[in-house]
Amino acid sequence: MRTRLWLFVSSLLAVGLVTAEIRYGGQSASADENKPAPPSDKPVPQEQTNCVRCHLTAGRELTEAVHTFAHSVHDISAGVTCHDCHGGNTMDDAKAHTAEFDFIGTKMSAHLAKCQSCHEDQHKELASGPHAWDQQKKLNIRYPLCVDCHGNHDIGNPPAEFSLSLVCTECHRGFKTKFESLAMLTDAEDDMWNAIIQWRSGQKDPKVRVPADLEEAVADIRRSTSSLVHKSTPPKAEDITPLVEKMKKLATQIRAVTTASARR
């Protein structure tokens, strides 16, 4: 449960070490010209602020976060930028990580508040349910956070190894028997996303999300799934079963498109 959270926090902890290399006397400075340029085959976020410029040459997880974010729905569709979530001064490197410009560092409650500011309906539903936790009072080590299910920089583009079912089973022993209908939903969700990931692996443009003819079907399923899993009460079997069938059908359609494309 805490794996994705730990990766999220550890990457933020490393952020504060980066800008020292490009500061002198409190004045802004350009990145080291001797550093290698980022690979041209990896995308960068649409809004290329100093956050992107510095992180592109920082290396390791600090650079990977930039490329990962460029694959996310936040960058591609929502127009969200680095500083929308992290805060900071996007014009002056020397003040990029200062509280004066609302840089929130590694404080998890502040990052979750950012999620809440855009996703108000989902927050209200979760706040009245069994996974609710007041992050302002005490660090949550018991229940899933937004980033556990949705990721952080990779929202809308989960890694191949991610499994929603595993997120549930890490806390709920006997998940598939105690929550049989919900387990059917998470299994179908995982299978659908595996089909989408497989299809994306064959696309040259990383900003292409799903087959064009199936975009609306995928969007509809995501909306329906969100309205079920964020509710404060467990979803009913009669609500889950039709959605599971839609997911299975869509996964089959996506795989058919992938197979057809491979034969061309």
The pLDDT of residue 138 is above 60: yes
Question: Which tens digit of pLDDT belongs to each residue from 224-264?
Answer: 998 888 876 778 889 999 999 999 999 999 999 999 988 87
Q: What is the mean pLDDT of residues 22-34?
A: 38
pLDDT for the residue 41: 58
Per DSSP, what are the bridge partners of residue 24? 27
Q: Report the C-alpha gap between 100 and 98 in whole angstroms.
A: 5
The pLDDT of residue 78 is above 70: yes
Amino acid letter for position 70: A
The pLDDT of residue 46 is above 80: yes
First to last CA, the chain: 41
Average pLDDT over all residues of the chain: 81
Contact 67, 44 (CB under 8 A): yes
Q: What is the mean pLDDT of residues 30-54?
A: 66
Contacts of 83 (CB under 8 A, 6+ apart): 49, 51, 90
The pLDDT of residue 21 is above 60: no
The pLDDT of residue 77 is above 80: yes
Q: What is the mean pLDDT of residues 88-105?
A: 89
| pTM of this structure | 0.73
Higher-confidence position of 62 and 7: 62
Amino acid letter for position 220: D
The pLDDT of residue 37 is above 60: no
The pLDDT of residue 48 is above 50: yes
Q: What is the mean pLDDT of residues 116-124?
A: 88
CA separation, residue 164 to residues 44, 94, 202 (Å): 27, 40, 23
Q: What are phi and psi of 154, to 5 degrees?
A: -105, 30
The pLDDT of residue 194 is above 90: yes
Per DSSP, what are the bridge partners of residue 27? 24
Lookup result for tokens 């079997």: 237
